[in-house]
Amino acid sequence: MEKTSKIVSFTLGELRFALYLEAVERIYPMVSITPLPKAPEIVLGLVNIGGRIIPVMNVRKRFGLPEREPELSDKIILAHTSRRPVALAVDSVVGVLENDASARVSAPTILPETEYVAGVVKLADGMIFIHDLDTFLSLEEEEKLAESLKE
């Protein structure tokens, strides 16, 4: 692991999550999400960002958190996997944090069954789960999304 890394921290309810900074393109205010028929359940719909049509992922559903309708105060994180740009609907964006390798624990060490978390950062006031976007969609979900976007 690197000695330090930068992460973009965000919240879903009371929980804090993060993405590695290099995976994040930009943060936007919440916009209208258009439903996408036949998309995997994990996809909330589509947004038009700068003329690009981007699928919006339902992070709450993936992590088994209570679902709620998006609010105007929510944020959209435009990020990218190794295969496609994606948008994440989140409650708020805390900011960019730099963390030391000594504060990070790899996910399999403490969460062996959680495939969507790359690691956990220990802070004085709690923990932040670092999100792994490349494992966020299963192969089946990825194929179903690609098919939905073609229609």
| 121 in Cβ contact with 7 (< 8 Å) | yes
Residue 139 tokens, joined: 């192969």
Query: If we measure between CA atoms, which residue out of 4, 28, 129, 38 comes closest to residue 86?
Result: 28
Per-residue pLDDT of the chain (151 residues; tens, 9 = 90+): 457 788 899 999 988 999 989 999 999 999 999 998 888 888 999 999 989 999 999 889 888 889 898 899 999 999 998 888 999 999 999 999 887 665 556 555 555 455 666 777 877 778 888 888 887 777 788 888 888 887 6
Show the DSSP H helices in the chain as ranges. Answer: 59-62, 107-110, 139-150
CA 76 – CA 90 distance, rounded (Å)? 6
Distance CA 31, CA 51 (A): 13
pLDDT at 1: 45
Q: What is the dihedral of CA 41, 42, 45, 48, to 10 degrees?
A: -160
CA distance 34 to 48: 9
Taking the complete model, does pTM exceed 0.75, yes or no? Answer: yes
Gap between the terminal Cα atoms of the chain: 41
Single out the residue of 82, 72, 41, 37 nearest to residue 59, CA to CA.
41
Fold of 4-146: OB fold (Dihydrolipoamide Acetyltransferase, E2P) (2.40.50)
SS percent in the chain: helix, strand, coil, step 5 = 20, 50, 35
The reported pLDDT for the residue numbered 141 is 82
